[in-house]
Amino acid sequence: MRGALGGPRVLLRRLREVMAEPVSAQERLDKIVVLIAANMVAEVCSVYVLRVDGTLELYATEGLKPEAVHQTVLRQDEGLVGLVASEANPINLSEAQTHPAFSFRPETGEEIYHSFLGVPVLRAGNTLGVLVVQNRASRAYSEEEEEALQTTAMVLAEMIASGELLSIAKPGAEPAIRPRLHLTGQPLAEGIALGHVVLHEPRVTVKNVIADDVGAELKRLDDSITALRADLDLMLERRDVADGGEHREVLDAYRSFANDQGWLHRLREAVSTGLTAEAGVERVQSDNRARMLRVTDPYIRERLHDLDDLGNRLMRQLMGQDHAPPREQLPDNAILVARSMGPAALLDYDRRKLRGLILEEGGPTSHVAIVARALGIAAVGEIDNIAGLVESGDAVIVDGSTGDVHLRPAADVESAYGERVKLRARRQAQYRALRDKPSVTKDGQPIALMINAGLLVDLPHIAETGAAGIGLFRTELQFMIATEMPRISEQLSLYRSVLDAAGGKPVTFRTLDIGGDKVLPYMRAEQEENPALGWRAIRLGLDRPGLMRSQIRALLQAAAGRDLKVMFPMIATCAEFDEAKELIERELTSLRRRRHKLPDRVEVGAMVEVPSLLFQLDSLIPKVDFLSVGSNDLVQFMFAADRGNRRVAERFDPLSAPILRALLLILDKARAGGKPVALCGELASKPIGALALIGLGFRAMSLTPSALGAVKAMLLDLDASKVEALLRPLVETPPTDGTIREKLEAFAAAEGLQL
């Protein structure tokens, strides 16, 4: 082999000596490049450091003109060095000048060098810089040399990450070790939170990079892999995962990776070059993470994530650390950061200290997002590699309404958000002051404001908001956050707690609305082309009456001696309602026969959320005790626009004639039939939506708890007869000079209503 005098192990030993010397940062870097160049028999060795402004600055060189140091600054889209940084991949060329990305800076004098080997300086998958060797002759660097240079880059990564180079950096152009970042993801749960990062799965920091005894390190690696495999086998044998489901699949994937020769070979190779076992694992993981960030195929990404998890497990095995990080000592204003997280894990944290959540995955309908909303913490999902970008304790701002995340924010950004938080807090205090005021419009119309709920953590909201009751209790949430089907006793206990917490205020339980996108991890889901139009909600309930009957039994028993209100989701025909109601009758009869105490009264209602019901109201209304409009689904189906797809969801305005006419029709028919009607979709959770509903004639609605204060403040100032007089004619004859929404906004402004 040409080059590599003494090989990487000798180089690492020498580097360790240099790292220990009491010299300045610049001297240390200068010595490092000389050592590397000599060891690799290269004429040039240069270190470029990525700066906070995204450019790459030449920090040290052996071979290029010394005056270029700290002068030459490259963009990340400039030249081969830029390409190594932006792709986070090595580039190895015997004829660099023929590469399309080649460009040179005259001040460096590098035009005389033909061969080029550049590797990224990586840490946790993030590029910190680029390490380059060059030779005058056109030579091919071997794979071993490439590997050796990457190993050496780890030492540099530690040096850069330690902050040592800050002493020789230009102000405003410091190394991007912990850059200020503004990232945007998917809004998951409303709210603004300022706080400090707590990693859900803390990263292990490798302190010792260079091995004392390579043989011993290889043995440590092998022993840990053996232990890891045994651990996985044990977990797979345990009963709780032996029954199938997601968990088992993941563990199976881990096990096959743990036996994957490619992975094992890369680990051993990294350690063989002279790294400690931990540094070897980090080396391989860092490459893997860098790859993960650039792959778009979701399947491959998922596999790379699994491999990353496995790397973490191996690392903890090596360091002898427990798998579960401590949850108790959460700092105040904690912002949790995780790649992904289950709802149960989130509920494990101390609610009083948790302010926000940032995830690499997680869509708005994910279970963890549902729990975050119930807990009232700001949450943002789909932020690539966030767990790799942050360090524990970093300052961070989460804006759950827009999806913005500011990592290590500038002082002015922080103070602007601080003001917004204060403003929100002031508003919340004003709303709290309204809690005990009767919910009546200025002209004396009582409006029942209830809340939507679904979990135990929602229950305190009844007292906090002074709501008139729970207008929609989404029973499926208990099923969605559980790891296995909740037993009937667990259902009963939840329903009883809900009725207790409501303290006599009405609660409307909705039977299971699962299927579609609300999948249960422990129930085999059929792949459907259009899940929202598929086998879900009442359709599934009627086809699998066992599940629905046990839920109904739990509801009837929980409400023994009290009033019970039950409604069915996604009713599309009267016959479905009849069939569902019949299940309730049968359970009542059966409980009666077995001398169980029964509810004092059972009211059975239908949700109006499928447009076909609009044309069956005359026959439906006599059958029901009440109606509740699910505007989220009704709007989705009327406009044929997926409510979860941001591209289309905001394209159509629910405050426009077609929807308002449908609502008016439901209201008028229910009134004529003498049946109460409420609305429990998101439409009621915005003051302008509630204004429109009152204008149509709705006198009962159910809201997201956090929205209740603002809606109540609006209606206390509202003259209901005025908005009725405005809206009804507009719905019948839509305006030609602007939209109905604009008319409502103008009305609110003229009346001094806060929207």
List contacts with Mg ion (CB under 5 A). Answer: 609, 630, 633
- Residue 473 carries which side chain, given as an amino acid letter? F
Other Cβ atoms less than 10 A from the Cβ of 411: the count is 7
Catalytic residue among 45, 200, 305, 367: 367
Tokens for 92? 């190895």
Mark whether 367 is an active-site residue: yes
Q: Give Cα separations from 393 to 125, 331, 421, 506, 584 (angstroms).
A: 19, 9, 20, 44, 53
* C-alpha distance from residue 642 to each of 143, 188, 517 (Å): 51, 17, 11
Q: What letter does residue 45 receive in the DSSP assignment? A: E
Query: Measured from the CB of residue 193, what is the shortest distance to ligand PEP in angstroms?
Result: 25
Q: Note whether 45 and 33 are within 8 A (CB).
A: yes
Q: What's the min distance (Å) between Cβ of 745 and ligand PEP?
A: 23
Stretch that binds ligand PEP, among 42-50, 356-364, 610-618, 625-633 (CB under 6 A): 625-633
Considering only residues 31, 408, 474, 553, which one is a binding residue for ligand PEP as defined by CB under 6 A? 474
CB of 734 to ligand PEP, least distance (A): 24
Segment contacting ligand PEP (CB under 6 A): 361-369, 553-561, 586-594, 627-635?
627-635
**Choice between 79 and 630, CB closer to ligand PEP:** 630
Instruction: Residue 451: name its binding partner from ligand PEP, Mg ion, none (Cβ under 5 to 8 Å by kind).
Output: none
680 binding ligand PEP? (CB under 6 A): yes
Please, are residues 701 and 693 in contact by the beta-carbon 8 Å criterion?
yes
What sign results for the dihedral spanned by CA atoms 264, 320, 199, 176? negative
Beta carbons of 382 and 186 less than 8 angstroms apart: yes
Q: Report the partner that residue 472 touches, choosing among ligand PEP, Mg ion, none (CB closer than 5 to 8 A by kind).
A: ligand PEP
For residue 384, how many other CB atoms are within 10 A of its CB? 14
| Distance between CA atoms of residues 509 and 475, nearest Å | 7
- Taking the alpha carbons at both ends of the chain, their separation in whole angstroms is 75
Non-local (6+) Cβ contacts of 311 within 8 A are 281, 284, 285, 288
Q: Which is nearer to ligand PEP, 31 or 474 (CB)?
A: 474
Q: Which stretch binds ligand PEP (CB under 6 A): 55-63, 92-100, 275-283, 629-637?
A: 629-637
409 binds ligand PEP (CB under 6 A): no
Q: What is the DSSP string of 447-481?
A: -EEEEEE-SGGGTHHHHHHT-S-EEEEETHHHHHH
Q: Give the C-alpha separation, 51 to 170, whole Å.
A: 10
Exposure pattern of 271-308 as b/e (b: 16+ CB <10 Å)? bbbbbbbbbbbbbbbbbbbbbbeeeeeeeebebbbbbb
DSSP characters over 298-318: HHHHHHHHHHHHHHHHHHHHH
Helix (H) or strand (E) holding 62: strand 56-62
Q: Is 631 a residue that touches ligand PEP (CB under 6 A)?
A: yes
Which partner, ligand PEP, Mg ion, none, binds residue 474 by CB below 5 to 8 Å per kind? Answer: ligand PEP
Among residues 83 and 634, whose Cβ is nearest to ligand PEP? Answer: 634
- ∠ CA 127-129-132, nearest 5°, is 125
Among 82, 681, 689, 695, binds ligand PEP (CB under 6 A): 681
* Interface with ligand PEP, residue 506, by CB under 6 A: no
Q: At what angle do helices 25-39 and 7-20 cross, to 10 degrees?
A: 170
Select from Mg ion, ligand PEP, none the partner in contact with residue 346, using the beta carbon and a kind-dependent cut-off of 5 to 8 Å: none
Which of ligand PEP, Mg ion, none has residue 631 at its interface (CB below 5 to 8 Å by kind)? ligand PEP
Residue 478 engages ligand PEP in binding (rule: CB under 6 A): no
Residue pair 663/693 in contact (Cβ under 8 Å)? The answer is: yes
Q: Which is nearer to ligand PEP, 468 or 472 (CB)?
A: 472
Residue number with CB closer to ligand PEP (584 or 679): 679
From candidates 630, 697, 705, 709, binder to ligand PEP by CB under 6 A: 630
Distance separating alpha carbons of residues 217 and 566, to the nearest angstrom: 64
Contact between 458 and ligand PEP per CB under 6 A: no
Quickly count helices (H) and strands (E) in the chain: 28, 22
Positions in 315-354 near ligand PEP (CB under 6 A): none
- Closest CB to ligand PEP among residues 474, 712: 474
Residue of 36, 221, 472, 584 that binds ligand PEP (CB under 6 A): 472
Least Å from the CB of residue 256 to ligand PEP: 38
Nearer CB in complex with ligand PEP: 123/474: 474
Nearer to ligand PEP, 266 or 643 (CB): 643
Catalytic residue among 45, 200, 574, 680: 680
30, 278, 287, 609: which one contacts ligand PEP (CB under 6 A)?
Answer: 609
* Residue 516, Ramachandran bin (φ over 0: left; ψ between -120 and 50: alpha; else beta): left
> Which one of ligand PEP, Mg ion, none interacts with residue 57, CB within 5 to 8 A by kind?
none
Phi then psi dihedrals of residue 285, to 5 deg: -65, -40
Nearer to ligand PEP (CB atom), residue 358 or residue 453: 453
Which of 57, 145, 394, 513 contacts ligand PEP by CB under 6 A? 513
One residue of 409, 633, 698, 707 binding ligand PEP per CB under 6 A? 633
Q: How far is the CB of 516 from ligand PEP (least distance, A)?
A: 9
d(CA 376, CA 190): 8
Shortest spacing between CB 569 and Mg ion, in angstroms: 6
Phi-psi region of 749 (alpha: psi -120 to 50; beta: other; left: phi over 0): alpha
Which span (182-190, 542-550, 554-562, 624-632) binds ligand PEP, by CB under 6 A? 624-632
Q: What is the DSSP secondary structure assignment for residue 66, as one 8-state letter?
A: G
Shortest Cβ distance from residue 252 to ligand PEP (Å)? 33
Closest distance of CB 614 from ligand PEP, Å: 15
Tell me the sheet residues that pair with 602: 564
Q: In whole angstroms, how close is the CB of 685 to Mg ion at the nearest point?
A: 14
CB contact at 8 A, 66 and 77: no
State how far the Cα of 539 lies from the Cα of 509, in Å rounded to an integer.
17
As measured in angstroms, the least distance from the Cβ of 480 to ligand PEP is: 11
Q: Give whichever of 217 and 609 is closer to Mg ion, judged by the CB atom.
A: 609
Distance in angstroms (rounded) separating the CA atoms of residues 200 and 188 = 18
Q: Does 632 bind ligand PEP (CB under 6 A)?
A: yes
The token pair that represents 77 in the structure block = 């889209």
Of 135 and 631, which CB lies nearer to ligand PEP in the complex structure? Answer: 631
Q: Give the footprint of ligand PEP on residues 237-266 (CB under 6 A).
A: none
Residues annotated as catalytic are 367, 680
Q: List residues near ligand PEP by CB under 6 A.
A: 472, 474, 513, 609, 630-633, 680-681
